[in-house]
């Protein structure tokens, strides 16, 4: 396994729609998945999409640590998981705001609205079909990584640009605002790519 370089915002690979994976069993795809897991762990993230490591393929890896779970029965600890050729659909109309960071945009975070509950489907790393309902942080992580596969970066989803800033500044000077989910603090900030 190898630690891969992470593309930063501005690189064209992050603006493109990723190609579908035709054969999940292809040794190149299996090696990429192993390297993505290692890279995510090394970078301290909770999610990583293949375009973030300069490969325009519809693959994401992610996990939900126990400290991120909420009271939502569809949220909770999720081990490191792989989703290939994912599709997502919202369940219900509830949208919640939450802080997000990104390994491709180091040092920044912003408040992003996301569907609170989604259904996602795709293939796991063995090529088996996966379908799951996710809520809370679990849903946020999957939506964030899915956006990377369609060429969207989280700042494009921010509705109030006053809620975008550098991590250190936001810790020192938390925004004096309330919104639909959480506020900036060391223990409340939800970073889909970062823990």
CATH number at residue 83: 3.90.45.10
Catalytic residue ranges:
145
How many domains in the chain? 1
The pLDDT tens digits for 3-33 are: 999 999 999 999 999 999 999 999 999 999 9
Among residues 159, 58, 143, the alpha carbon closest in space to that of 102 is found at 143
Among residues 33, 140, 49, 129, the alpha carbon closest in space to that of 94 is found at 140
17 part of a folded domain: yes
pLDDT surpasses 50 at 187: no
Supply 60's token pair. 């994401």
List the domain range (segments joined by +) for residue 128: 12-172
- H or E segment to which residue 39 belongs: helix 27-43
73 part of a folded domain: yes
Q: In what order do the strands lie in the sheet with 117-123?
A: 47-49, 59-64, 78-90, 117-123, 129-135
Supply 115's token pair. 């569907």
71 part of a folded domain: yes
Q: What is the DSSP letter of 118?
A: E
5 part of a folded domain: no
Give the pLDDT mean for 46-72.
90
At 133, phi and psi to the nearest 5?
Answer: -100, 135
The pLDDT tens digits for 135-170 are: 999 999 999 999 999 999 999 999 999 999 999 999
191 part of a folded domain: no
At 75, phi and psi to the nearest 5?
Answer: -115, 165
Among residues 174, 170, 184, 98, the alpha carbon closest in space to that of 141 is found at 98
């Amino acid at each position: 396994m190898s630690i891969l370089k992470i593309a930063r915002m501005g690189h064209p690979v992050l603006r493109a729609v990723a190609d579908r994976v035709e054969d999940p069993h292809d040794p190149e795809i299996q090696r990429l998945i192993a390297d993505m897991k290692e890279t995510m762990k090394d970078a301290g993230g909770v999610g990583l999409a293949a375009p973030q490591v300069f490969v325009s393929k519809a693959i994401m890896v992610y996990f939900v640590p126990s400290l991120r779970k909420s009271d939502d029965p569809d949220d909770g600890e999720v081990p490191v998981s792989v989703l290939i050729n994912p599709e997502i659909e919202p369940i219900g109309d509830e949208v919640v705001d939450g802080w997000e960071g990104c390994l491709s945009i180091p040092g920044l975070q912003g408040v992003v609205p996301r569907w609170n509950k989604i259904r996602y489907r795709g293939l796991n790393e063995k090529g088996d079909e996966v379908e799951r309902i996710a809520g809370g942080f679990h849903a946020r992580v999957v939506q964030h990584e899915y956006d990377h596969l369609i060429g969207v970066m989280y700042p494009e989803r921010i509705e109030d640009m006053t809620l975008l800033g550098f991590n250190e500044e936001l810790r020192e000077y938390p925004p004096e605002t309330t919104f639909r989910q959480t506020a900036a603090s060391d223990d409340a900030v939800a970073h889909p790519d970062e823990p």
